[in-house]
Amino acid sequence: MAEQFDLVILGSGSTAFAAALRAAALGKTAVMTEVRTLGGTCVNRGCLPSKNLIEAAKIFYDANNPRFPGLNPGAMTLDFPALVGQKDHVIRDYRDKKYRSIVEGSKRIKVFSGRAEMTGPHEVSIGRQALRGEYLLIATGTSPEIPGIPGLSSTPYLTSDLLTSQDNMELRELPASLVVVGGGYIAVELGQMFARFGTQVTILERGERILSGGEPEISESVAASFRDEGITIHTGAKVVRVQGDEVQVTVTAQAGGRQREFKAARLLVATGRRPNTDGLALEKAQVEVDEHGFVKVDDELRTSAGHIFAAGDVINSHAHSQMATPVGAQDGGIAADNALKGAGRKVNHAVVPRAVFSDPQVGSVGLTDGEANAQEYTCECRIVPMTLVPRAGAVRAPRGVIKMVADRNTRKVLGVSMHGLNAAEVIHEAAMGLRFGAKIEDFAGMLHVYPTMAEALKIVALSYTKDVSKMSCCAE
């Protein structure tokens, strides 16, 4: 006989937990299912472990490559297995405090481990356990996309799951060399991280540029920064086949107008994400998915089955959503409200700040120049190099640019993208501005602490009316 709950949630990541907690706050019962590790991707093999190791790589790199004359390179050494061990400890501690303890301390929330499958409109089986919910939420997230490259199935390769804590997919030894297939944020973050630990890194991107979803000026700036650090980047590189073993892999690709071979100790495939909907038998509940398997939802996160909702990465861009942990967490609560109390809340994904944790970081929010033009705005853009930001010069971190996109007619700022020191922090000021409809003059007139990287927002706004290369330090 099925165990009855008010809300059955497929998944146990940030989206699922937000929904379960909202259900409990409403006095309802909720159950989550998890096929891998409690907490889902972000805490176990995504955001947290990657940022832990990326920061360690920055410390190691800066110690051996100080940017200040007068500071001589240190003698810092690397124990990679020990570094992985501390990462595992941090993740385990965070998971225990932020996820496991919540479930163990709640009388209204349960978790079942195993592979879940829909058996009817309201029923889910997980092993021998049957679960029934008045409402259901699909929050199973995504996994690394594995492209159909000839030879890949018989060649050892890594994905972003190399960060998985205490799992057989976890990488515990630093490779001497690495070929990365892909040029998105995962390829960029992990590629630079390994390079800073001492791995010889080559990035092969099929498109015209890395970070192709953002502004071209940001992409060019990141690529230049990477090349300065010795990272090899080939764009327009179409992988033809791969082959190899645990000692060496060979990637054959069309690059630079000819076929070339790239050899390395390891291969990292970072070509995108796919939805974790295979095997869920969603058709038994009449839940529609798109051609890629992502769940279709309306702006209340309701699926084609009226009593079933979906949120988080598993819906991809439906309802104009974006793959990001805070988006899923916010939407999980909205889905629970809409399911359990008929709140009718609509999601709003118009202002979602994003970051790539390269060094310098990339921060962006709102529309790119191309997106704004596609939406028939009459755009006016400005680009300012970080060399004109006093803080960047003062701390000898001049790499990067900032770009502002505005509507020429209304002067309303539509988007901001920044490659520079602390960009992931600075971008929140831009996001707040966009949220409240700020205009160019609002950014230009905002007083900032001097010298800070947030001044970049003021300076790029001032560049609409002034030659900011000829300004004194704080003048307007």
Whichever domain contains 377, its CATH number is 3.30.390.30
Of 140, 147, 42, nearest to 95 by C-alpha is 42
Question: What's the mean pLDDT when you consider all of the chain?
Answer: 95
Same domain, 247 and 190: yes
10-21 per-position pLDDT tens digit: 999 999 999 999
The region, left, alpha or beta by phi > 0 then psi within -120 to 50, assigned to residue 442 is alpha
Same domain, 52 and 129: yes
Same domain, 175 and 89: no
CB contact at 8 A, 124 and 133: yes
CB contact at 8 A, 111 and 103: yes
CB atoms within 10 A of CB 130: 15
Which of 248, 271, 294 is the last residue before a domain boundary? 271
pLDDT reported for residue 475: 64
Residue 375 lies in a domain: yes
d(CA 268, CA 162) in angstroms, rounded, equals 9
Same domain, 135 and 196: no
164-199 per-position pLDDT tens digit: 876 778 899 999 999 999 999 999 999 999 999 999
Residue 99 lies in a domain: yes
Pairing assessment for the beta strands 30-34 and 3-10 based on DSSP bridges? parallel
Share of the chain above pLDDT 90, in %: 91
Mean pLDDT of 115-140: 95
Residue 349 lies in a domain: no
Q: Retrieve residue 342's tokens.
A: 């008929």
CB contact at 8 A, 109 and 102: yes
Which of 242, 271, 300 is the last residue before a domain boundary? 271
Same domain, 461 and 388: yes
The CATH number that applies at residue 210 is: 3.50.50.60
Same domain, 125 and 249: no
d(CA 49, CA 90) in angstroms, rounded, equals 8
Of 451, 355, 357, nearest to 395 by C-alpha is 451
Greater pLDDT, 36 or 357: 357
Same domain, 110 and 240: no
398-418 per-position pLDDT tens digit: 999 999 999 999 999 999 999
- What residues make up the domain containing 158? 152-271
Which of 271, 302, 320 is the last residue before a domain boundary? 271
**Total domain count, the chain:** 3
Residue 409 lies in a domain: yes
Same domain, 11 and 126: yes
Greater pLDDT, 39 or 394: 394
Mean pLDDT of 70-85: 94
Share of the chain above pLDDT 70, in %: 100
Residue 476 lies in a domain: no
Residue 238 lies in a domain: yes
Same domain, 77 and 172: no
Element (H, E) at 225: helix 216-228
Same domain, 195 and 326: no
Same domain, 390 and 441: yes
d(CA 312, CA 288) in angstroms, rounded, equals 16
Is residue 285 pLDDT above 90, yes or no?
yes
* pTM for the model: 0.95
Same domain, 138 and 278: yes
Mean pLDDT of 135-145: 97
CB contact at 8 A, 438 and 412: yes
Is residue 24 pLDDT above 90, yes or no?
yes
Residue 242 lies in a domain: yes
